[in-house]
Structure 1
Amino acid sequence: MLNRVILIGRLAQDPELRYTPNGVAVANFGLAVERRFTNQQGEREVDFFTIVTWRQLAENCANYLKKGRAVAVEGRLQTRSFENNEGRRIKITEIVADDVRFLDSGANRSGSGEGYREQGFGGGSGNNNQMNDPFADDGKPIDISDDDLPF
């Protein structure tokens, strides 16, 4: 059996960090994902997903992500149900993330491409110095001699 979900979108709200009675961190946030096609008005519709992260990944998301940040989320689809205060059975479907990759630098932070896995930091080089960023020129021409080319 296979239950894998990969989504790329933008945070619909800031992550909400809480702790279980046993002290385990859990963070929830909404993820807005545009559909590939447009509707009859020529606009792209958006789907909203609830993302749940646990432990160190939850704390990292709460500390470094804000509404509007672009992320890639990898995890599994999970459905759970509970009884609300009125005695009604409520069913919730959410994505439990194993990996969250930060795809943009955000307003005041650098770290493009860094990812955080359930086991700790994963992905990204950890080098946030824009002086070493080969794409820092934003598409301006780069002076490369023929000797620098590998072919």
Structure 2
Amino acid sequence: MASRGVNKVIILGRVGQDPEVRYSPSGTAFANLTVATSEQWRDKQTGEQKELTEWHRVAVVGKLAEVVSQYVKKGDQVYFEGMLRTRKWQDQSGQDRYTTEVHVGINGVMQMLGGTGDSKQQAASKQPRKHQQSAPQHSEPPMNFDDSDIPFLGVSMKTCSRCNQQKEERDFQIRRASNDGLTAACRVCLAEYDKERAGLPHRVSARRDYQSSDRGRERCNAAKKRFIKRNPWKRKAHIIVGNFFARWEANSTITVRVLRIRM
């Protein structure tokens, strides 16, 4: 499948707080958590060891969110592969805010590294490991990332152009040429439309049979007369052409010339 770019994020760090898990009305799990990544270096001037900690907001969706709710706790070391997404929300004053987070969805990867519990070891064994040895243990960095004002990751909804109903984005097919990357109609409406198109040849055949019948010819002739009556300039052209062919049938010796009538 052709792509216009690459949006991939890899994070390996420690969880700053217990994950917050919720479920949509359709049963899809959503988990929000914060992960800290640290960078250490030595100052060349003072020789002092320094450390910089960055906090990342991670949103996990689907089956991986259920695994997160069961096995991931505060202080665990985890590995995520996902993509950056920015969503819009409103604060208490009604102003628009934007939050950029790491979205781990269907194509995302989550691995648990380290840990001492047996249940965590079993959960980690079910996930494909890319690193054979675990990272060295170190003290957990202080949690200085406040995301209490940011709303929980909800279900993205969209209105179907055919049935005009609010449905989840996963109920729409992917269409990269559109503005939001999804089709305007939902999967159910598209399936019904495909069935209608499949029956189109039968309807065309039935229409042709009707037009060839006496009743169909009468209605077609009546429609043509109404159209000619409503368009006087086309009626005049119709009369000229009709008179020409009438004279040609009466006297076959008349030279036939091509008449160009601008319709």
Measured at CA, do residues 78 and 37 of structure 1 come closer, stay the same or move farther in structure 2, by a change above 3 Å?
farther
Query: Residues 71 and 123 of structure 2 are in contact (CA less than 8 Å); yes or no, is this contact kept in structure 1?
Result: no
Deviation at 1:23, TM superposition (A): 2.1
Deviation at 1:24, TM superposition (A): 1.1
Equivalence for 2:70: 63
Q: Which amino acid aligns with 2:52?
A: E
Measured at CA, do residues 86 and 12 of structure 1 come closer, stay the same or move farther in structure 2, by a change above 3 Å?
same
* Post-superposition CA distance 1:1-36 (Å, at most 9, x none): 000000110000111110123221100110000024
Query: Residues 78 and 113 of structure 2 are in contact (CA less than 8 Å); yes or no, is this contact kept in structure 1?
Result: yes
Q: How many residues align?
A: 120
- Aligned partner of 1:123 among 121, 128, 131: 128
| Aligned-residue RMSD, C-alpha | 2.4
Q: Give the Cα–Cα distance (whole angstroms) in 1 for the partners of residues 20 and 113 of structure 2.
A: 20
Q: Which amino acid aligns with 2:55?
A: F
Equivalence for 1:37: 41
Deviation at 1:109, TM superposition (A): 3.8
Equivalence for 2:18: 14
Equivalence for 2:251: none
Task: Give the 3-state SS of the residue equivalent to 1:114 in structure 2.
Answer: helix
Q: Give the Cα–Cα distance (whole angstroms) in 2 for the partners of residues 83 and 54 of structure 1.
A: 22
1:54 aligns with 2:64: no
Which protein has greater RCO, CA pairs closer than 8 Å, 6+ apart? 1
Deviation at 1:84, TM superposition (A): 2.1
Equivalence for 2:102: 95
Deviation at 1:108, TM superposition (A): 5.7
- TM-score if structure 1 supplies the norm length? 0.70
Equivalence for 1:114: 124
- TM-score if structure 2 supplies the norm length? 0.42
Measured at CA, do residues 6 and 50 of structure 1 come closer, stay the same or move farther in structure 2, by a change above 3 Å?
same
Deviation at 1:45, TM superposition (A): 1.1
Q: Give the Cα–Cα distance (whole angstroms) in 2 for the partners of residues 38 and 27 of structure 1.
A: 36
* Post-superposition CA distance 1:58-104 (Å, at most 9, x none): 01011001000011110001111112231111110100121110011
Q: Which amino acid aligns with 2:33?
A: F
Overall identity of the aligned pairs, in %: 28
Measured at CA, do residues 31 and 24 of structure 1 come closer, stay the same or move farther in structure 2, by a change above 3 Å?
same
Task: Give the 3-state SS of the residue equivalent to 2:63 in structure 1.
Answer: helix
Query: Residues 102 and 112 of structure 1 are in contact (CA less than 8 Å); yes or no, is this contact kept in structure 2?
Result: no
Task: Give the 3-state SS of the residue equivalent to 1:67 in structure 2.
Answer: coil
Task: Give the 3-state SS of the residue equivalent to 1:74 in structure 2.
Answer: strand
Q: Give the Cα–Cα distance (whole angstroms) in 2 for the partners of residues 29 and 38 of structure 1.
A: 30
Q: Give the Cα–Cα distance (whole angstroms) in 2 for the partners of residues 38 and 93 of structure 1.
A: 31
Q: Which amino acid aligns with 1:13?
A: Q
Task: Give the 3-state SS of the residue equivalent to 2:74 in structure 1.
Answer: coil
